[in-house]
Chain A
Amino acid sequence: MHVFLAILRCVIAIVIAYLVVFVAALVNILFERRTLAFMTDRLGPNRTGWQGVLQSVADAFKMMGKEDFAPAQVDKVVFTLAPIMVMIGAVSIQLVIPYTKGWVGQDLNVGLIYIIAVTGFTVLSILIGGWASHNKYALVGALRAAAQMVSYEIPMILAVLVVAMTVGSLSLNAVVALQAGYKWLAFYMPFTLLIFYIASIAELNRGPFDLPEAESELVSGYNVEYSGMRFGMFFLNEYAGLTIMSMVVVTLFFGGWQGPWANALVIHRIALVPIVWFLIKTYVLVFLLVWVRLSLPRLQVDQLMGFAWKILIPLGLANIAVSGAILLWAPHWHLVMAIYSWVALLVFVGLFDIVLRWRLDRQRKKVAVLA
């Protein structure tokens, strides 16, 4: 009987994971289109269904109806494999995220490491997809993606390490439990949050880090030769990524499902109200991602890599050292950590612009117009 229940639980978890990925992708596509339209003084899609809610569904059906086309010279096996593989990361992450009190697909005791590990699958499929396409734009995009995602995984891990040290466990349930009573880690370690957030945007290939598919340079990058539902899989994965990455950030830094009236409505030991808090927090962050995308221009490859290796990784290492010292020796780590992290955040944000401006001006002065 226990075996049967375990299998049932497994199946339900996987079904929910797929549902969340697909529904989140469709919702996010519409959400982003309408939000961008609002921000740029347009209407956006508002014809299909009430206020355009069916637009992404219609688009999905359109993509499924298209010819399953592969260019002549592609590597057929790999070309087909890439869009199938691309979803692995997004779906697998779902299995360890605690949606609510009493529901998590599998409370792995290495949840944090697991998340980092399965995120890497996305870069693999982008790389092989771009390589198999036999197209120069796709190849450049794929190589950019590989370089970028491998580089930004490091600051991401460095930030996650601080969380793990603080919690004393790698289980996501433990991370959420520690943040009960509004002791969200975001309040105590905003600097770590910033590092994690920047790295996670880069992992998502979102603006300003959307170099792999920079449409003004590479047309659409690694997926340029894909069409129909093969392209659709890349597209869905990218947009599902918004929600998934926001869910991870919420779980790690914003108290996960924690919120008022957590026990108001409980069915089979699964609390339902916290799901709402979880979703609200997630979509606030998704909105932030859309906002960031619209308000920042794209970085350049060397600037992007320089930012990861010269700024984020050293800062992440320093952050680990200081946070570790505080956790080890400070009697009340909450207060000391909060003071350190807020000061670090403000100094970083305040100085970054000034130093950059100064460096750029100095470089610019060297440029001679008068030959």
Chain B
Amino acid sequence: MSDEFVDTVPDEALRLALSRVAGATAAGEGSDMQGLRLDEVVLNMGPQHPSTHGVLRLVVTLDGEMVKDVIPVIGYLHRCKEKLAEKRTYYQYIPIPDRTEYVAGMNCEWGYVMTVEKLAGIQPTRRAEVIRVIMAELNRIASHLVAVGTFTADLAPLGTAMVFYMFRDREQILDLLEAASGARMMFNYFRFGGVRYDLPDGWVEKCRDFLERFPKMVQEYESLVETNAIFLQRCLGKGVISQQDVVDYAITGPNARASGVAHDLRRTRPYSVYPELDFDLCLGRHGDVYDRYKVRIEEMKQSRAIILQCLDMLPKGPVQVGSLKPPYVITPPPGAVYTAQENPRGEYGTYIVSDGSRYPYRLKYRDPCFINLQIFPKLLTGNKIADAVAISGSMDLVLGGIDR
């Protein structure tokens, strides 16, 4: 099975897919329908495909409408975010984690800052800790809104409405984050031992006001899709991840909890002020597309509860240890530290090796999207192509994190 085009283009994934098809045909395992020979089609989805959420590329082998084989290809958004750390001081690197999982910048920054604090032995002030939790949970809500919105957009055209409603409400969260940090997406807000700015006047009231209106918004989303026969038909029982697969593939976050695996780092390995907070783990029972959608919706409600508790317990005091200015140059002692925190997409780990200089010797992320992506070939194979799109949407990948 040779193709002039493929022979001239150095494309390993395409060649691999074609050679697999050729291998299967040679072994007599190709598609066969009552003696009728059918060709399998290798289809290149992405990196500019509208529903791969960024620049994920899937080389899909199709038998009619059925997906026979999937090869994910990544690296189109690679920006050396890990290598950059080695040429920047610890302080200069703070804005970069924002760019990994760019939908949840606050959470990613927190992971990096927390790791360096652990490395250098800095204890943030109590007020800063609470503010961090508030920001991270607000960003979690915003991130889940994007996740569910774009997922429903994959089941378009209903998503046209849903995604706009969700982005409309996400806008209000971004306004809150902007009022606190000065930025809407790349926040650069966390500092070693605290946060950059204290909350501005009236911010707490604004936040409370938003949280009061939030349940009504969620109700609107739920009423839009959950009674919709076609939506249910597209979601129920599709793309099931078993608990064994969750463990085997190290899937974390809402995708794992949708399968009923009670793994949430805010609970199982608590950090910051989470031990003092009262919230529920949202678990699904079926691990299908619908559960992954539902878990995210429920988590938004839990995040709201967490933020309300944090606003109640917000103590007075400085938001930065030591002097009011954050420490620009820190030199942690030699050593290596791994911390992980619960990002909207799962366990976001940061591993830093210090050689005692002003620069990290090595920095490595354990990005949840990258790990969650690994199950794609197994998960998508055997589904219809329309299902494959819905399933990959429900897994909620962010390519900034995968490619780093």
Contacts and interface: CB of A to CB of B under 8 A. Distances in A.
A42 B164 CA distance: 8
Contacts of A215: 50-51, 156
14 contacts: A39-B161, A40-B160, A40-B164, A41-B164, A214-B386, A217-B386, A296-B228, A297-B155, A297-B157, A298-B158, A301-B386, A302-B65, A360-B236, A370-B242
B156 A216 contact: yes
A16 interface: no
Contacts of B230: 208, 296-299, 303
Contacts of B242: 368-371
B49 interface: yes
Query: In the complex, which of the residues A42, A219, A298, A363 has the most CB atoms of chain B within 10 Å of its own CB atom?
Result: A298
A217 B158 contact: no
Contact of B156 (A219, A297, A352, A369): A297
Interface string B284-311: 0111100000000000000000000000
A67 interface: no
Given A299-B230, A300-B386, A360-B233, A369 B157 contact: no
Interface in B209-248: 225, 227-234, 236-237, 240-245
A369 B41 CA distance: 31
Given A367-B240, A370-B243, A371-B243, A356 B386 contact: no
B232 A357 contact: yes
Interface in B41-63: 41, 43, 49-51, 62
A369 B231 contact: no
B66 to A, nearest CB: 10
B152 interface: yes
B50 to A, nearest CB: 6
A353 B386 contact: no
Given A298-B157, A301-B65, A370-B242, A216 B50 contact: yes
B237 A216 contact: no
Contacts of B101: none
Interface string B162-199: 00110010000000000000000000000000000000
A352 B229 contact: yes
A136 B386 contact: no
Contact of A367 (B51, B165, B237, B385): B237
Contacts of A136: 41, 43, 62
A111 to B, nearest CB: 33
B254 interface: no
Contact of B237 (A36, A301, A360): A360
Interface string B66-107: 000000000000000000000000000000000000000000
B153 interface: yes
Interface in A344-363: 352-353, 356-357, 360-361, 363
A294 B157 contact: yes
A40 B156 CA distance: 13
B129 interface: no
A364 B295 CA distance: 17
Contacts of A299: 230, 233-234
A216 B154 contact: yes
B51 A369 contact: no
B259 interface: yes
Contacts of A140: 62, 65, 385
A99 interface: no
Nearest to B284: A369
Given A369-B260, A371-B245, A300 B387 contact: yes
Interface string B378-397: 00000011110100000000
Given A41-B168, A369-B240, A217 B389 contact: yes
A302 B156 contact: no
A297 B159 contact: yes
B384 to A, nearest CB: 6
A323 B277 CA distance: 65
By DSSP majority rule, is chain A's interface helix, strand, loop, or mixed? helix
A369 B243 CA distance: 6
A353 B230 CA distance: 10
Contacts of B161: 39-40, 294-295
A137 interface: yes
A371 B13 CA distance: 31
A166 to B, nearest CB: 31
A207 B156 contact: yes
A15 B287 CA distance: 58
A61 B152 CA distance: 34
A36 B232 contact: no
Given A41-B168, A294-B161, A353-B227, 17 more contacts: A40-B161, A40-B165, A42-B164, A140-B385, A217-B51, A217-B385, A296-B157, A298-B234, A299-B230, A300-B386, A301-B65, A301-B384, A303-B233, A356-B233, A364-B288, A369-B287, A371-B242
A212 B288 CA distance: 26
Nearest to A355: B229
B155 A360 contact: no
A32 to B, nearest CB: 11
Contacts of A361: 236
Nearest to A292: B157
Contacts of A216: 50-51, 153-156, 389
Contacts of B287: 367, 369
Residue among B41, B50, B285 having the largest count of chain A Cβ atoms under 10 Å: B50
B286 A369 contact: yes
A210 interface: yes
A107 B62 CA distance: 48
Given A216-B153, A364-B286, A364-B288, A294 B387 contact: no
A137 B65 CA distance: 11
A364 B43 CA distance: 30
B379 to A, nearest CB: 13
A157 to B, nearest CB: 25
Contacts of A366: 237
A214 B234 CA distance: 14
A133 to B, nearest CB: 14
B376 to A, nearest CB: 16
Given A217-B51, A361-B236, A369 B387 contact: no
B11 to A, nearest CB: 16
- The 9 A-B pairs of least Cβ separation, nearest first, read A371-B244, A40-B164, A216-B51, A297-B155, A371-B242, A297-B158, A207-B157, A364-B237, A369-B287
A113 B259 CA distance: 53
A188 B166 CA distance: 42
Interface in B137-157: 152-157
A8 to B, nearest CB: 44
A82 B284 CA distance: 49
Contacts of B50: 215-216, 219
Given A352-B229, A361-B236, A298 B156 contact: yes
Contacts of B157: 207-208, 210, 293-294, 296-298
